[in-house]
Amino acid sequence: QVQLQESGPGLVKPSQTLSLTCTVSGGSITTNYYYWSWIRQPPGKGLEWIGYIPYSGSTYYSPSLKSRTSISRDTSKNQFTLQLSSVTPEDTAVYYCARGGSLTPRGTYYGEDYWGKGTLVTVSS
């Protein structure tokens, strides 16, 4: 059973960098053909995909957040990390990490099948 757990500060000041870590258990983040995502949900709004880091280690970001986003991984700890710079109160949200994937190297992404419980990050001075 794959489990994901988000961790990081619950309060970040405007203009600072939000940093969250997702710790994965029950499966390796380098296993073919899984993708490890960050997704957020602002209060009263829908889910917003931020980006993912696939098994290969390359990264893909939402165009609207790309200039402020960095996703990396530590394979020795089986963790992947989100950094979102220059945050504003509009970045206040519950942040989730999740696993998705495809059946083949160039196959269609089938969506997320395992999620962390989410962590609320508030951007406020």
Comparing CA positions, the residue from 80, 82, 84, 65 lying closest to residue 35 is 80
What was the pLDDT predicted at 103?
Answer: 85
How many percent of the chain have pLDDT more than 70? 100
What was the pLDDT predicted at 102?
Answer: 87
What was the pLDDT predicted at 107?
Answer: 84
- 67-98 per-position pLDDT tens digit: 999 999 999 999 999 999 999 999 999 999 99
Check: CB of residue 95 under 8 Å from CB of residue 4. no
How many percent of the chain have pLDDT more than 90? 91
Check: CB of residue 47 under 8 Å from CB of residue 41. yes
Distances from the Cα of 88 to the Cα of 50, 65, 68, 121, angstroms: 16, 12, 11, 11
Q: Calculate mean pLDDT across residues 17-41.
A: 97
Q: Which residue has the higher pLDDT, 4 or 111?
A: 4
What was the pLDDT predicted at 106?
Answer: 81
Mean pLDDT for the chain overall:
96
Question: Which residues, including other chains, have CB under 8 Å from residue 82's CB and lie 6 or more apart?
Answer: 18, 19, 20, 21, 22, 38, 50, 51, 69, 70, 71, 95, 97
Give the end-to-end CA distance of the chain in Å, rounded to a whole number: 39
- 33-56 per-position pLDDT tens digit: 999 999 999 999 999 999 999 999
d(CA 102, CA 115): 16
